[in-house]
Amino acid sequence: MLKAISLGVSESSPWDLEMAQRGYKVIEYDGSIEQCPYSHPNITFYKAFVGVDKDCISLDSIIKSNHLKKGANILQIDIENAEWEVLEQSDIGLLAEYFTQVIFEFHGCNPEEYEGVKRRLKVLERIKEYYEPFHLHLNNHGKIFYSQGLFFSTTLEVSYMKKGEIPFSKEKVVEGILKGLDYPNHPSNPEIPIYFKE
């Protein structure tokens, strides 16, 4: 059975439930809640924070302890800004051996924080060696910028596929909001459409 590793669950994680319903063995990690918000035979929950501190579990440990087979597993990371440290200390090449798809919620993408931008770009360059992005969604809950007629969020949701695995044309670029795929993180706030300027 293919596995979907979900790091960061909170009180609601519909992605986890959908993956379980699709037949994946979903393995969740989150130290901020007592139990999984869903009851499903394909979901296993561990109350643990993921990070680099001594009281956290590492990404490498998660791969080893769950006996992942190399191949088309999926990794989802939404760990509230700890993703940068975790990825800095992770072997992205090793991730690519075990996960065909990786989904990140990147926090703190504030263009005004120059040192933070440099640090994050280094991480993104390492990811780019092994993965290609195929979907981007702007989180509408948090700090929002407005510049040159466009809105921009400091929290980005990015879906990646392992290089050479994307089964569709990479030439197609769809702007705006993708119906049936993009949903507002905060329902009372309007969605932030994506547009590109040359």
pLDDT over 70, % of the chain: 97
Q: Please count the helices (runs of H) and the strands (runs of E) in the chain.
A: 5, 9
pLDDT at 98: 95
pLDDT at 101: 96
Confirm whether 12 is domain-assigned. Answer: yes
Q: How confident is the model at residue 93 (pLDDT cuts 50, 70, 90)?
A: very high
Strand partners, 135: 159
pLDDT of 156 above 90: yes
What is the average pLDDT score of the chain?
A: 90
Q: What is the mean pLDDT of residues 155-180?
A: 84
Confirm whether 168 is domain-assigned. Answer: no
Q: What is the mean pLDDT of residues 125-152?
A: 89
The domain that holds 68 is classified in CATH as 3.40.50
Confirm whether 11 is domain-assigned. Answer: yes
pLDDT at 170: 65
pLDDT at 110: 86
Burial 54-89 (b: 16+ CB within 10 A, else e): eebbebeebbeeeebeeeebbbbbbbeebbbbbbee
The residue written with tokens 């080893």 in the block is: 64
Burial class (CB in 10 A: 0-12, 13-18, 19+), 19: buried
pLDDT of 11 above 90: no
Look up the pTM and report it: 0.90
- Which tokens belong to 149? 């007629």
Confirm whether 54 is domain-assigned. Answer: yes
The angle subtended at Cα 31 by Cα 153 and Cα 191, nearest 5°, is: 20
27 closest CA partner among 48, 55, 54, 11 = 48
* Gap between the Cα atoms of 91 and 88, Å rounded: 8
pLDDT of 198 above 70: no
Confirm whether 87 is domain-assigned. Answer: yes
Q: How far is CA 99 from the centre of its chain?
A: 12
Domain count, the chain: 1
Strands, E assignment, 89-187: 99-106, 131-138, 144-147, 150-153, 156-162
* Gap between the Cα atoms of 27 and 1, Å rounded: 12
Q: What is the chain's percent helix, strand, coil content, to nearest 5? A: 20, 25, 50
Instruction: Determine contact, residues 109/154, Cβ cutoff 8 Å.
Output: yes
pLDDT tens per residue, range 33-82: 999 989 999 999 999 999 998 899 999 999 999 999 888 899 999 999 89
Domain boundaries, position 98: 3-162
pLDDT at 114: 82
